[in-house]
Amino acid sequence: MSRERNTIPTPKLKTKLIQAMKLIRTNPSNLGRVSDFEEWFRHPFAGLPSLGNFINNLGEVFPGVTGDRLAVDVHEDKDNYFASFELPGLKKEDVKIELNNGLLTVSAEKREKNGDNESSYSLTRSVSVPDGVNVEAIAAKLEDGILTVTLPKAEHRKPRSITLN
């Protein structure tokens, strides 16, 4: 019987694996090319400090926070911001989403028993919620292993056209 731990690879491991296969197309911020990435990312939001800080890793702020970092995509349309996380194999009850002091934190924890092997892992990620989000109306859904948190923009932050009198 193999003594190898039957652990589901975490995104960190995932990144290494993918990188090793030289197949990577995205630019995960925990790799060496952070500066390119940040420049690319911050540039469009110069002058919008709340958006520039949209992404925030709690682990960097509070090193004591455990759990591996979960990757995130953030999209925006006219009415909402969307934060997406990959959580393959996780059920609704394994995922916890908290909003605290302008920080949205997603944490996932899972224990699995597979024959003689038992594995557990935890993942976490925080993003700071920009100003002008209607926090009461934040909603989340888990589908096909992707968690999407929808953050509706408050009325006064939506784009509108102003008519000239």
Partner 1 sequence: MNTTCSPRTCAPATSGVTESLRKPLYNVNGNAEAYEVRIEMPGVPKNGVKLDLEDNILTVRGERNTTVPEGMKALHRELSPLSYLLRLRLNTPVEEDKMTAKLEDGVLTLRLPLKEVAKPRQIPVL
Residues of this chain that bind partner 1 (CB under 8 A): 1-2, 4-6, 8-9, 14, 17-18, 20-21, 23-29, 41, 51, 54-55, 71-78, 81-82, 84, 86-91, 114-117, 142, 144-146
CB nearer partner 1, residue 160 or residue 165? 160
Shortest Cβ distance from residue 68 to partner 1 (Å)? 13
In terms of C-beta distances under 8 Å and separation of at least 24 residues, what long-range contacts does 136-143 make, across chains too? 138/99, 138/104, 140/97, 142/87, 142/90, 142/91, 142/92, 142/95
Tell me the two tokens of residue 147. 């968690």
CB nearer partner 1, residue 1 or residue 46? 1
CB nearer partner 1, residue 92 or residue 156? 92
Give the start-end residues of each E strand in 5-153: 68-69, 72-76, 80-86, 95-100, 103-114, 117-128, 139-143, 146-152
Shortest Cβ distance from residue 149 to partner 1 (Å)? 13
Distant-in-sequence, close-in-space partners of 50: CB < 8 Å, separation ≥ 6? 128, 130, 131, 132
Shortest Cβ distance from residue 118 to partner 1 (Å)? 13
Shortest Cβ distance from residue 115 to partner 1 (Å)? 6
CB nearer partner 1, residue 161 or residue 165? 161
CB nearer partner 1, residue 77 or residue 136? 77
